[in-house]
Amino acid sequence: MDYRDYLDKIEEKLQNNFDVERNYELNGYKWDLYAKFHLRNERYVLSKKIVIYAIENNEYIFIKYFDGLDDNSLKDYTESLIKSIDDIVKP
């Protein structure tokens, strides 16, 4: 299977639940596909102002294709992910 076909299939499956972007750039690093999902559930009593508990779920997907993976490419990839944590994750 061709890489582009595979990426199209992944995007098709993610579109129902995720916000998907192609050719996404973050901190100068280009990703072939980026997807994010945010969900918040709350339990409240009588009024929505009286929240008993709340649960948040946030998921992020980064996909990058490498023609050939060497040590430098892998190092750049992992460093980019680590640097991007503070920009992406908002607790």
Q: What is the pLDDT of residues 48-62, one digit of tens each?
A: 888 888 999 999 999
What pLDDT, on a 0 to 100 scale, did the predictor assign at position 88? 85
What pLDDT, on a 0 to 100 scale, did the predictor assign at position 36? 94
Q: Which domain holds residue 12?
A: 3-88
What pLDDT, on a 0 to 100 scale, did the predictor assign at position 76? 86
Structural domain count of the chain: 1
Q: What is the pLDDT of residues 6-46, one digit of tens each?
A: 999 999 999 999 999 999 988 888 899 999 999 999 898 88
Instruction: Name the percent of the chain lying above pLDDT 90.
Output: 41
Minimal CA–CA distance to 61: which of 12, 20, 15, 16? 20
CA distances from 27 to 10, 46, 62, 77 (A): 24, 45, 13, 12
